[in-house]
Structure formats: structure tokens, C-alpha cells
Structure 1
Amino acid sequence: MNYESSVTADSPEYVTSDLSGAERENAPARGRGVLIAGIVLGIALIAAIAFYFMSAGEPVPEGGDDAGQAPAITVISPGSGSIEGEISATGTLAARRAMPVGVAGEGGRVVSVPVDAGQWVNAGQVLAVIDRSVQNQQAASASAQVQVAQADARLAQANLDRALQLVDRGFISKADVDRLTATRDAAVARVKVAQAQAGELRARNARLNVVAPSAGLVLERNVEPGQVVGAGAGTLFLIAKGGEMEMLARVGEADLARMSTGITAEVVPVGTDKVYTGQIWQLSPTIDPQNRQGTARISLPYAEGLRPGGFATATIKSGTVVAPLLPESAVLSDDEGSYVYIADKDNKVVRRAVQTGPVTANGVVITKGLTGSERIVQRAGGFLNPGQTIRPVKAGS
């Protein structure tokens, strides 16, 4: 049987039949070469992309290519400038002059309380009225006794005047005149005694009411109508004299040594963002041996947002200093104290001990150990070791 094979241009047999013998032998090798070239090109492209993302935005390090494979580390040279020192402290608010007011007299039943906490009062204003019905009767009796004594004194004076008119005529002896004079003097003395007793009762009655010793703001009210109060009743009212407040700021002994009375402080009560400006009017003369802290008392004028007993933070101005200012990331510390890492002329890491000052919003003030012209490691100091070679990169270059 005869079979006819049909071969078309699209079939593999048709393609290979047109190739020469040498070309058919080299076709697989040429395919492998194209595949290898594609793989190499892909690897090169991936490496280029990785290098781009790893080095994008990185400035050219100092020393060019001489730094070799050393890590690129950002360094800064801050220089020196005038820095307004600030000290942050926390503490509580209180009345600058708190006046506890209680019962000054013998006390009694409270009839009315015309003031409440949060109100302003004037000096001498009645804060609580005490029942004085019994005391009023005693005062009336004392006044009557004064009148009786005055009447006796007038009678004794009249008897003495008549006796003096008759003594020249011989009707009254000298002894009788002396006796009448003594009677008149005793009557006058009894008048003074009665007046003193009546005045004492009036003074006691006046002290029955609880009054404000000075103008100010009522902070506490601890009495209600109907309550019986006496000398041992304790504090009935607490008044802030003149409404003046203060903050009792707790600061360390080193910060306390840099303060002085009269310097400005900004106080922010907890829960608000309002700033109140005051001045330090007193510094604690002693240091707490437990926490090594003292108290700076900051006077504040009256404001509704200042409530005694509340918590607040204070920013205290501590004067101007000329020193380098470093970011907090550049300053390290260990058991030996604070230090920074510096890149020397050979681009090697050198440890430099420093003394830190106030911490401001812009960084840490370095009071000792730096001139500001050094190349200081800005960050990543915790991953470096003294003597290690780096590629210093100036920040912002």
C-alpha cells in the first residue's frame, strides 16, 4: 500500500527540513546562550534596582571611594550659639496665702450662711450668722446695770454738793464731807465697771458671727445652717487671700541651683492647653534627702482655670547659655556618664565624654566636652565601637 504524507509550511518537519546539517546541530546551543544572557540581564537589573533604593537620597560621603566598605554614618557639626535655658517641672497648684477661718467667739447654732465656695468676699464680710438670742438679753441687762450705776453716781454727786455748801456754816463736819466724797467716787467707779461689762458682752456678741479676715476667694465651705459650732469646730471656711495662687514645682537640686526669684515661668494645668505666666517668688531652702528635690514656688494671679489641688507642668526660664546643641539621638549614656561619638581626621570613631545641660525642644545643651566644630555622629551611635572606620556623611549635604 502506498501512503502519502502531507507536510505543510507550519509543521516542524517543514521547518527543519530547510535547515542545513550544521545549522541543525548549532540550534540548541544558540537557544541556551540566549537563555543565559536573559538570566544575567535580569540579575543585573535586580541588582541595579536594589542599589538605587539603598542609595537613593544618600549624599556623597567624605573621602570619596577611599572609604571602601565602611558604613556611611551621618555626622553633624552644630557649632555654638546662644540658647535660652529651660527647666521643665511638675507640681501641684495651691493658694499662695490660704486663710482658714473658724469660730472666734463662744459659738452657737448657725442661723444662715450667706456665702458659698467660689465667691469673692471683702474684709469683715459676714460668712456665717450665729444665733444670739440669749446673748442679746444679757447685753440688755448689762446696759440696764450701767444706767443704775449712773443714777447712783448722780445721787452721790448731789449729796456731796449739798454737803459742801453746809460745811462752811458748821452744819456738816469735815468727816461727813469725806464720807460723801468716797461714796461719790465709788458710784463713779461702779459706772465704769458696768460699762466695761456691757462692752464685753457687746464684743462677744460681735464675735459670734464668722467674718472674713481679708478680701479673697472662698475655696471651701464646711458649715451649714442649723449646725452647732464652737471653738473646737475646726475650719469652717478656707479663703485664698486676694485670690492669689501658686504652683509648688518640684525640681532637682541641680536645677534649683540655676534658679533665682523673679524669673518667669509658664504653667499649664493638666487637662487644658492654656498657659498661665507667673514668677518664682520663693525657692526651697532645703532639699528632700529622699528624692534630692526642692520646691520652687511660682506665684500666679487669679484665674478661673487655676484650681488648688490640681496638677500642672511648668516651663521655667533658666537664663541664656552659649553652648553646642545636639539632638537627643546623638547623646548616649552608660555607667561612666554621658558621651558622644566623633569621627576623627582618619574617619575613625572616637568616644568623647560630655556634660549635658538643659533639655530644650530643639535638643540637648552640651555644657562641657565639645566646641561644636567636631564631626559628631547624629544617630546609630549604639551600633558603633571606638576605633571603627566609618564613612562620615554630613547631614543635609
Structure 2
Amino acid sequence: MDYDSRTDAALAGTDLAADSVLTDAEEDRQSRRRTILIILGAIVALIAVFFALHGFGAKEEEKKDQAPRVTVVAPGAATVEGSINVNGSLGARREMPVGVVGEGGQVRSVLVEAGDWVSAGQVLAVIDRSVQTQQQAGQGAQIQVSEADARLAQANLERALKLVDRGFISKADVDRLTATRDAANARVRVARATYGQIGAQIARLNIVAPAAGLILERKIEPGQVVGGGSGVLFRIAKGGEMELRAQVGEVDLAKITAGVTAEVTPVGGAKKFTGQVWQVSPVIDPASRQGFARIALAYAPELRPGGFAAAVIKAGSMVAPLLPDSAVLSDNQGSYVYIVGKNNKIERRNVKIGLVTDKGIAIAAGLAGSERVVLRAGGFLSPGETIQPIVGKL
């Protein structure tokens, strides 16, 4: 009885052990299945995230909403007036320095002031001439002496000629008297020439204006001793004409021709003066790469020589598309713009810049004017990128 009970118990224990082994194997299979399912789920989730980030499977409207919104314009074509902004110094167009042309001396009086208008030949200053006046008086007396000698020589000759036929005077005496008469007449001419020379020297003691104009500067006072080495005593603007000597870069200088108009505004003033370019520098400074454009101006009290002024020079006109600065980009390949092509994709278009004005940049080549051009923010775009174009205004 006891044996059978032990046998049954052993059999029961064996069955329990077998059941335990079966249960552990089943749990391993189930654990592996759960692991595989988790891995598959993670893979599916990653794939879904990938497609979501790259827009695969998104609706066309959603893809459109994700494209950047960019303002574009169709510039068309317009007549563009070119202009060049320059700066420079004001001065007389034709400045005439005036000094002493004679032997000089002490200044007796000065008859003009800076800012006065003078006519050609007008006396500006008078130099003492007391010595020269006495010399001229003495030479006048010498003329009278020479003329008296000449009259006496002529009378002697005439009397001798009457006595030749009677034989009282020889032919040699007549020749001698003729030579004496001719020498006396020559001395008269010399005396008169000397008198005229002294008169010219006296006239040169007056400092006179060589031409009509405006006195810009006076450097002479009564009592001052002046001479040939005294330098410039007056400066005169011929006709009162002024000019602006504008410094211009060599690129812009090539666009300027004589005869074009310009508007000049002196520093510190709001009034504008209209002038005309009358000379373009024939040379370029190799150091600064600049030349001069000389703008002729009529006289005005506001135009003071030596002052500084700004000018806008007309540089011709052209019919071309006009774009703002923000639309035109540049790199090592040159200037370019971005236009909107097929399917609203960005395309690069190389252009050639023409006239530059206050209203924008004229495109000389590369655009017809009907293209949709990116107005701004082109630096953040790249060719081939899709955008949402928004039509703007220039």
C-alpha cells in the first residue's frame, strides 16, 4: 500500500515537472513573438515618420502650403533717365590773376574791393608816378629842342641850295647840310619815341582789369610797395562765371559728355542751380582712378569759390526694365536676378546693369520685362526651389 502511494506520488511529480517544462517553453515563444512585434512596430513608426517628414503621401494642397511665399514683379519696360551723383569744389570758370606789369612802386590808392564788378581796362589800383612824371616832362622839353635843331638845319639847307647856282656854296657843303638836317629830324623822332616810352611806363603803373568780371580777392593796400615779384594782387572771375570741378570715377566718367545738364547744390543751402558740363577730363589719375567733370554755372551770390557742392549729372536715357536694388544680386559670375519659371520654380537669370537712378537700376540686357522677378529675399533662395509667388508692386 505504501509502495503504491509512493509510486503515484512520483508519477504525479513527474507530470508536474513536465508541465513546468512545457510552460517555460511556451513563455519563451511568446516573449520572442512580443519582441518581434515590438521591433516591427518600431520599424513601421520610423517609416511613417520618414514619409511624414519628406511629405510623401501628403496631399498636394499641403505640399503647396509648405512652399515659401515670395513677392515677385513683372517690371515691364520704361524710359530711364540716367544720373550720376558727384561732389566737388566751386571756383571761377576762368580765373584771372592780376599783378604788377611795370616796374612797380608805392601804392597810392586802391579803387575796388572784393565782390565788385569791373569792366575791361578799369583801373584797380594806382602806383606813385612822381619820378616818371618828371622824366616825361624833361623828355617833352627835349622834343622841343630837337625840333628847333631840325628847323634850323632845314633853313640852313634851303639857303645853301639858293647859293649853289651862284657858285658861293660847293656841292660838298650842300651834302653836309643835308646830312645835318636829316640827323636833326632823326633826333626829333628819337625824342618823341622816348617820350612815348615814358608815357607807356606811367600807364603801366596803373593796375587794370584785363577783362570784365567779378573781383574775387584783393591783396593790396595803400602805402604798400609792390613790384614784379609781389605776386598776385587781385583775382578776377572772368564774366563772373563759376564752375564745379566734380571728381568722377572712371566708369561714370565714360558716361558723361560735354553739353549735358547738371543740378548743383552748395553745401549748407537748399537752392539748386542748373549748369552744363563744358569739359570732361581727358586723363584719369592713376592713383585715385578718377577724373574731373567741369560744370559751368552762371554767377549767383550763393556760389562761393572754394566752397563744396554736390551735383547730379544727367547721363542719357534708355528704354529698359527698371528694378529696385533689392532685386539685383551679384557674385563672381556677375549680376543676376531670380525669376519664377515653370511650376513656380526659381531660375537664375544673368543680367547686364545699365543706368543707375534714384528710382532703381535699369537692366540693359538679360530681361524682356515680362518675366516674374523676385523682388527681395533672393539671397535666401536657390535655383530649382519651389515657391508661392505673390504679385507685388514696384
Same fold by TM (over 0.5)? Answer: yes
Contact map agreement 2:246 2:293 (CA 8 A) in 1: yes
1:1-397 superposed matches below 5 A:
67-396=64-393
User: SS in structure 2 opposite 1:281?
Assistant: strand
For residues 95-143 of structure 1, the C-alpha deviation after alignment (integer angstroms, 9 at most, x for no partner) is 1111111111001111111111111000000111101111111111111
Deviation at 1:396, TM superposition (A): 4.7
Deviation at 1:340, TM superposition (A): 1.9
| Percent identity (aligned) | 66
User: SS in structure 2 opposite 1:68?
Assistant: helix
Deviation at 1:90, TM superposition (A): 1.7
Deviation at 1:64, TM superposition (A): 7.4
Tell me the TM-score normalized by structure 2: 0.81
For residues 284-334 of structure 1, the C-alpha deviation after alignment (integer angstroms, 9 at most, x for no partner) is 112222232222221111111111222212212222201110111212233
Q: Which residue of 1 aligns with 2:16?
A: none
CA distance in 1, matches of 2:71, 2:138: 96
State the AA in 2 paired with 1:69: Q
Tell me the TM-score normalized by structure 1: 0.80
State the AA in 2 paired with 1:394: V
Deviation at 1:66, TM superposition (A): 5.3
CA distance in 1, matches of 2:107, 2:331: 66
CA distance in 2, matches of 1:91, 1:346: 52
User: SS in structure 1 opposite 2:204?
Assistant: helix
CA distance in 2, matches of 1:197, 1:396: 86
CA distance in 2, matches of 1:366, 1:396: 17
CA distance in 2, matches of 1:396, 1:157: 105
Which has the larger displacement, 251-260 or 278-287?
251-260
Deviation at 1:231, TM superposition (A): 0.7
CA distance in 1, matches of 2:327, 2:288: 28
User: SS in structure 1 opposite 2:330?
Assistant: strand
User: SS in structure 2 opposite 1:220?
Assistant: strand
CA distance in 1, matches of 2:147, 2:182: 12
Contact map agreement 2:80 2:355 (CA 8 A) in 1: no
The 1:73–1:192 alpha-carbon spacing in structure 2 relative to 1, beyond 3 Å, is same
User: SS in structure 2 opposite 1:303?
Assistant: coil
State the AA in 1 paired with 2:256: M
For residues 231-254 of structure 1, the C-alpha deviation after alignment (integer angstroms, 9 at most, x for no partner) is 111111111111111112222223
Give the length in aligned residue pairs: 335
Which has the larger displacement, 149-158 or 384-393?
384-393
State the AA in 2 paired with 1:330: A
Moved over 6 A (4+): none
State the AA in 2 paired with 1:382: G
State the AA in 2 paired with 1:184: R
User: SS in structure 2 opposite 1:346?
Assistant: helix
CA distance in 2, matches of 1:261, 1:67: 56
For residues 337-372 of structure 1, the C-alpha deviation after alignment (integer angstroms, 9 at most, x for no partner) is 322222222222233222222221211111122222
CA distance in 2, matches of 1:247, 1:260: 15
CA distance in 1, matches of 2:335, 2:246: 26
CA distance in 1, matches of 2:151, 2:188: 10
User: SS in structure 2 opposite 1:138?
Assistant: helix
CA distance in 2, matches of 1:140, 1:334: 85
The 1:65–1:250 alpha-carbon spacing in structure 2 relative to 1, beyond 3 Å, is farther
CA distance in 1, matches of 2:372, 2:289: 36
Deviation at 1:194, TM superposition (A): 0.8
CA distance in 1, matches of 2:312, 2:61: 46
CA distance in 1, matches of 2:95, 2:309: 19
Instruction: Report the aligned-residue RMSD.
Output: 1.8
CA distance in 2, matches of 1:307, 1:172: 82
CA distance in 1, matches of 2:393, 2:204: 77
For residues 205-240 of structure 1, the C-alpha deviation after alignment (integer angstroms, 9 at most, x for no partner) is 100111000000111111111111111111111111
For residues 33-52 of structure 1, the C-alpha deviation after alignment (integer angstroms, 9 at most, x for no partner) is xxxxxxxxxxxxxxxxxxxx
User: SS in structure 2 opposite 1:210?
Assistant: strand
CA distance in 1, matches of 2:201, 2:257: 47
User: SS in structure 2 opposite 1:388?
Assistant: coil
